[in-house]
């Protein structure tokens, strides 16, 4: 693992997710931006002293010195965004499989470079768009694929958070400070942090391509350099229309991600804060409340369930589904698992890039 040491948020989530199904063991790391903190963080997590490294260069060098059978099976990148590119590139080139947080990198050029390198080396590469791991998101995707709601006409995806309603980045909050800094976070603020999740959810579930977009970005937080609010109109393949809303200044909203898909013969409605339920509204019958774990779900959704219906599975479980599918691929040497790839990550980067470029006008994707 690179990143994810003391004071980090998402690294611990990755570790819980990896632990849940017993498929991973954390054995080595360069966990923080200073050698001291990296050391302390490694000890916190019980790593062997010789596998705690001051930075990712040392980690890579050390791994390459080891015999193949003693090397890490997977590198997990959970640093601030600006480091994703160089770290990923170096490890891919060295033949390592990689899991990387989102947004993947800062620019489409970087993303395409990564994608090309992954394709060339044949390594596995997962982007942790964790929301796609929820069983009922998978079910939504399968229902669309199976034609249960007919041709998709419109998609609304919205992601509301309120934690940046004030100027949190001017406090000592580490999560907000790097995210608010374009050199670390990339060109998108809310757009990069949560808009990419929304884009991924829309693309994953509907299978439609964004052809054009018109994005209105705003910064409401005092002195904020990046957007904290985005409203984006989309024209999707096949004539469908889309609306993507992402905001981090929506006071009182915690992690309010919702996807609605309207088709010719039905609609779907899923909310991340009540993730075990998917509403299916058919054309000529009463709305159906589909639940995780219940009978009649697709194989794909069922595979992501550990518990019977009514026993809530949450964020970590969905995250773990990404890792567990990746583990199966790593173990079998396949590349068929149900998890987001480097190309999904690249599309998210492009989404941010084009939304920033739009400046309120329709432009091609």
Residues 223-252 that bind its own copies (CB under 8 A): 229, 231, 233, 235, 241, 243, 245, 247, 249-252
Report in angstroms how near the CB of residue 294 gets to its own copies at its nearest: 7
Report in angstroms how near the CB of residue 358 gets to its own copies at its nearest: 11
List binders of its own copies among 304-343 (CB under 8 A).
306-317
| DSSP conformational letter for 81 | G
Query: Which of residues 6, 121, 154, 174 is near its own copies by CB under 8 A?
Result: 154
Count other C-beta atoms under 10 Å from residue 297's C-beta.
23
Report CA Rg, the chain.
Answer: 20
Q: Which of 284, 253, 289 is nearest to 266 (CA)?
A: 284
Q: What is the largest CA-CA distance in the chain?
A: 64
C-beta separation of 40 from 12 below 8 A? no
List binders of its own copies among 165-204 (CB under 8 A).
165-166
Report in angstroms how near the CB of residue 241 gets to its own copies at its nearest: 6
Nearer to its own copies among residue 78 and residue 115 (C-beta): 78
Query: Which of residues 48, 68, 295, 364 is near its own copies by CB under 8 A?
Result: 295
x/- site string to its own copies, residues 10 to 49, per CB under 8 A? --xx-xx--xxxx---------------------------
Report in angstroms how near the CB of residue 85 gets to its own copies at its nearest: 27
Measured CA to CA in angstroms, residue 346 lies from 118, 212, 283, 334, 357 at distances of 12, 17, 36, 21, 16
Q: How far apart are CA 8 and CA 224, in angstroms?
A: 22
Query: Which of residues 48, 146, 285, 364 is near its own copies by CB under 8 A?
Result: 285
Nearer to its own copies among residue 95 and residue 360 (C-beta): 360
C-beta separation of 144 from 205 below 8 A? yes
Query: Which of residues 289, 331, 334, 357 is near its own copies by CB under 8 A?
Result: 289
Nearer to its own copies among residue 216 and residue 329 (C-beta): 216
Nearer to its own copies among residue 35 and residue 162 (C-beta): 162
Reading the block at residue 18, the tokens are: 């990896």
- Sign of CA pseudo-dihedral 247, 203, 350, 10: positive
C-beta separation of 66 from 43 below 8 A? no
């Amino acid at each position: 693992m690179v990143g994810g040491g003391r004071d980090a948020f998402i690294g611990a989530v990755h570790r819980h997710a990896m632990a849940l199904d017993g498929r991973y063991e954390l054995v080595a790391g360069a966990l923080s931006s200073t050698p001291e903190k990296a050391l302390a963080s490694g000890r916190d997590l019980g790593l062997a002293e010789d596998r705690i490294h001051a930075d990712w260069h040392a980690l890579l060098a050390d791994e390459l010195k080891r015999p193949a059978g003693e090397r890490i099976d997977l590198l997990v990148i959970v640093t601030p965004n600006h480091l994703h590119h160089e770290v990923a590139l170096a490890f891919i080139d060295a033949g390592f499989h990689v899991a990387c947080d989102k947004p993947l990198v800062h620019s489409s050029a970087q993303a395409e470079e990564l994608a090309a390198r992954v394709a060339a080396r044949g390594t596995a590469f997962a982007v942790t768009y964790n929301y796609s791991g929820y069983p009922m998101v998978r079910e939504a995707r399968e229902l669309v694929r199976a034609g249960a709601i007919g041709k998709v006409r419109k998609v609304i995806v919205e992601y509301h958070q309120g934690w940046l309603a004030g100027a949190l980045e001017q406090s000592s909050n580490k999560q907000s400070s790097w995210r608010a800094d374009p050199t670390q976070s990339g060109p998108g603020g809310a757009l990069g942090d949560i808009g990419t999740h929304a884009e991924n959810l829309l693309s994953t579930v509907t299978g439609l391509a964004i052809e054009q977009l018109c994005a209105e970005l705003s910064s409401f937080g005092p002195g904020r350099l990046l957007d904290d609010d985005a409203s984006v109109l989309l024209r999707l393949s096949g004539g469908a229309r889309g609306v993507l809303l992402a905001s981090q200044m929506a006071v009182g909203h915690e992690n309010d991600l919702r996807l609605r898909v309207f088709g010719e013969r039905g609609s779907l409605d899923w909310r991340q804060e009540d993730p075990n339920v998917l509403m299916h509204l058919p054309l000529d019958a009463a709305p159906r409340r589909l639940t995780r774990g219940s009978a009649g779900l697709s194989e794909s959704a069922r595979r992501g369930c550990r518990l019977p219906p009514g026993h809530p599975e949450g964020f970590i479980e969905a995250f773990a589904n990404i890792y567990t599918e990746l583990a199966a691929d790593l173990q079998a040497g396949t590349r068929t698992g149900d998890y987001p790839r480097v190309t999904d990550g690249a599309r998210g980067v492009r989404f941010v890039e084009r939304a920033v470029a739009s400046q309120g006008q329709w432009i091609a994707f």
